[in-house]
């Protein structure tokens, strides 16, 4: 039997297809090597996920130059989140245990988080998986776009969003 990850379609490729079709509400930006979305755990306000455009399971399986460009994009997104949200610390996680497609979770951590010394996953899902109010969500996405574009002028997003 193949492992689960080989037996079903990639969930991240499915999200990327939704972004491309304009059906993903919290899309932030398209960069040359990645797609950026606002994550679903806005207890950590500004949390973003960066998806590699190329479907591979590990960064080292990418052409070396492409992997370095992707890492530069991750740094630019981290800098943008830091600029916009002024966190105590950023947490970067490249896991891929559930989806076989390189992606980074970038979490801002805040001083008033009682669990700030712990990995974010220790906070119960119902506490961390919260959405921002609609206007705050739009303002956050707009501010992140502006900050990302300062580092990566090639950043793109639909004009209507
Ligand atoms: Zn994929």
State pLDDT tens for residues 131-142: 999 999 999 999
Cα of 135 from ligand 1 centre, angstroms = 31
pLDDT at 158: 81
Kindly give the distance from the C-alpha atom of residue 86 to the centroid of ligand 1, in angstroms, as a whole number: 32
Distance 36 CA to ligand 1 centre (A): 14
Return d(Cα 31, Cα 28) in angstroms, integer.
10
Asked whether residue 161 carries a pLDDT value surpassing 70, the answer given is: no
Ligand 1 midpoint to CA 110 (Å): 31
How high does pLDDT run on average in the chain? 94
Q: How far apart are CA 46 and CA 96, in angstroms?
A: 21
Decide if pLDDT at 71 tops 80. yes
109 alpha carbon to ligand 1 midpoint, in Å? Answer: 28
Other C-beta atoms closer than 10 Å to the C-beta of 144 total 24
Ligand 1 centroid–CA 55 distance in Å is 4
Cα–Cα distance, 161 to 53 (Å, whole number): 21
Task: Please state, in angstroms and as integers, the Cα–Cα distance from residue 14 to each residue in 9, 47, 101, 126, following that order.
Answer: 8, 20, 11, 24
* Mean pLDDT computed over 20-33: 95
């Amino acid at each position: 039997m193949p492992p689960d990850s080989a037996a079903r379609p990639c969930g991240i490729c499915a999200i990327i297809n939704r972004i491309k079709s304009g059906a993903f509400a919290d899309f932030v930006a398209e960069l040359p090597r990645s797609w950026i979305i606002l994550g679903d755990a806005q207890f950590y306000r500004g949390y973003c996920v960066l998806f590699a455009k190329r479907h591979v399971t590990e960064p080292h399986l990418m052409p070396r130059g492409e992997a370095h460009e992707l890492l530069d994009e991750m740094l630019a997104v981290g800098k943008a989140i830091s600029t916009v949200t002024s966190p105590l610390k950023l947490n970067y996680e490249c896991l891929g245990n559930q989806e076989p497609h390189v992606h980074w979770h970038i979490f801002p951590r805040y001083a008033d988080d009682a669990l700030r010394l712990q990995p974010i996953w220790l906070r119960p899902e119902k506490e961390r998986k919260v959405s921002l109010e609609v206007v705050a969500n739009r303002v956050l996405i707009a501010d992140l776009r502006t900050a990302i574009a300062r580092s990566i002028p090639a950043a793109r997003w639909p004009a209507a969003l």
